[in-house]
Structure 1
């Protein structure tokens, strides 16, 4: 693949992962999702119409926003009331995303630095355009001659999302009430059998943020990115079954794979960020360098 064709493939990836920002997206027709006067998400019109059947939980759309009823004035009341509605919608089986119910609680807040206003089932967050956070770990090695290679995971074929695709060495969503470093250590242990005393050496290096829409809703996401240099003799092992195999690949081969359909899209973005930060992609050689950087850090 020529360098121009590779760059075009990467731009297409970034546009797809940021399509909520593009002309023609559903953003202009979405309702703001507000809790206690603060926006915490985006609700597509078809979802807003379903919520009007639950006036004891959701106020009717007004002024471009859907709000929780003022009587739901605590973290627990909001969480339990919304979850009851979601359980009803789940039974109706009209929303495909709820078929992937995970029994995982995600925090809902205007910004990551704000106190959570409620929790919500992970599978339902796209219905409300609630921002989701995760942790991704770039595992890599440096040979005695200075050659960098990266560990990639092949996702299990039974995963609910993106089965069988290439992924970062370890990654996971940030559950309600669980810290970032705790999540990192947990995912490294569970997915790749990396001991805690090794995982804890990972360095926080960036966040990668994007917002896309598809038939299941709106996905504003931000990933906390860590780099973990591993000893040359270390090999991650399949742990909890979410991964079927691990590969140690030269960085040039990893770069080539980013432009294929074999990579989980947001994980490809995390690897792209690694390539930029470690100067494997440089502005003098890559005409789209600035577009790449902007596409990795596009927040609402």
Structure 2
């Protein structure tokens, strides 16, 4: 297999078409989806593949499916409380689980992901594993632990995902990462994930970690993600760097991580070329290399395209994490 370029790694993660590249193709492509809406909110909240719409057993009166306009609308009262919408969505997903309609629902997580209206107003929530069925924006955190070695320079703590993990088994991963549940803010989520996945105590994180930006992309799931292929996963990832002492050993704290290895930048870059990384984790690492002056406009021919693709403007409402 030919080595992967950095742009190919980005394209593997940000792989939903762009209107600007070919407007006619984009319009044809969009005919494969219904838009997901909530009564009383004018915004489109996600894209649902037509094939998924056809498999759901929509509960009469709770949902309106318009095959001509290609819309699916949750029909709670326009001024309904989030709990009312949650109850409607929960019944729909429970029926799909009972009928064993979708493979992706076999990865039940008992985690709830939020859905927001324009302005960041909380509309409702949905079980994590069901979120790709509706193509909503999901939020997460990713962090890269690194040390400055006197002899070998910068070295990164790289995780190997468990061989038995349902999604992307045995692929390489960031030092710690995870999805943000309803009501969670990025920093609190990052502290939790650092402790749960990499045994980094909260005190160490608070002293040594720093927020370094946010990445956005629009991912079309393949077989490695588990469940149905072609589901949409637009994501927003809050990114942190953690500079650790050479004496601090990062180690697994749960069953999701097989092991950690402390790799030089050259070793990390070689593993990227070999396609060993989970797609969105490769994006986080490339962003790290850019921010630390390792990938530059002078040595990366696709620098501008990469920068644009990892900060994609998504077509759905987003939230403001203000306290």
Fold match by TM threshold 0.5: yes
Aligned counterparts of 1:146 and 1:28: Cα–Cα separation in 2: 52
1:34 aligns with 2:48: no
Partner of 2:17: 21
Alignment map for 1:130-209 (pairs within 5 Å): 130-144=136-150, 147-200=153-206, 201-209=208-216
Contact preservation (8 Å) 1:97, 1:216: no
Alpha-carbon distance, 1:46 to partner: 1.7
Alpha-carbon distance, 1:15 to partner: 1.9
Partner of 2:106: 99
1:57 aligns with 2:53: no
> Which of residues 259, 281, 285 is equivalent to 2:273?
259
Larger mean CA deviation between 133-142 and 286-295 belongs to 286-295
Aligned counterparts of 1:262 and 1:120: Cα–Cα separation in 2: 31
Partner of 2:299: 285
Aligned counterparts of 2:16 and 2:310: Cα–Cα separation in 1: 14
> Which of residues 89, 93, 96 is equivalent to 1:89?
96
Aligned counterparts of 1:195 and 1:213: Cα–Cα separation in 2: 34
Alpha-carbon distance, 1:26 to partner: 4.5
CA RMSD of superposed structures (Å) = 2.0
Contact preservation (8 Å) 2:218, 2:232: yes
Alpha-carbon distance, 1:145 to partner: 5.9
Partner of 2:251: 237
Partner of 1:9: 5
Alpha-carbon distance, 1:132 to partner: 0.7
Contact preservation (8 Å) 1:21, 1:27: no
Larger mean CA deviation between 70-79 and 19-28 belongs to 19-28
> Which of residues 223, 226, 232 is equivalent to 1:218?
232
Q: Which has the higher contact order (CA 8 A, sep 6+)?
A: 2
Contact preservation (8 Å) 2:56, 2:96: no
Alpha-carbon distance, 1:39 to partner: 1.7
Contact preservation (8 Å) 2:136, 2:233: yes
TM-score, normalised via structure 2 length: 0.85
**Total equivalences in the alignment:** 295
Aligned counterparts of 2:105 and 2:233: Cα–Cα separation in 1: 15
SS in 2 for 1:252: helix
In structure 1, runs of 5+ residues without a counterpart are none
Alpha-carbon distance, 1:52 to partner: 6.1
Aligned counterparts of 1:33 and 1:260: Cα–Cα separation in 2: 37
Aligned counterparts of 1:56 and 1:110: Cα–Cα separation in 2: 22
Aligned counterparts of 1:70 and 1:88: Cα–Cα separation in 2: 18
Contact preservation (8 Å) 1:210, 1:297: yes
Contact preservation (8 Å) 1:20, 1:27: no
TM-score, normalised via structure 1 length: 0.92
In structure 2, the CA distance between the partners of 1:16 and 1:145, relative to structure 1 (3 Å rule), is closer
SS in 2 for 1:89: helix
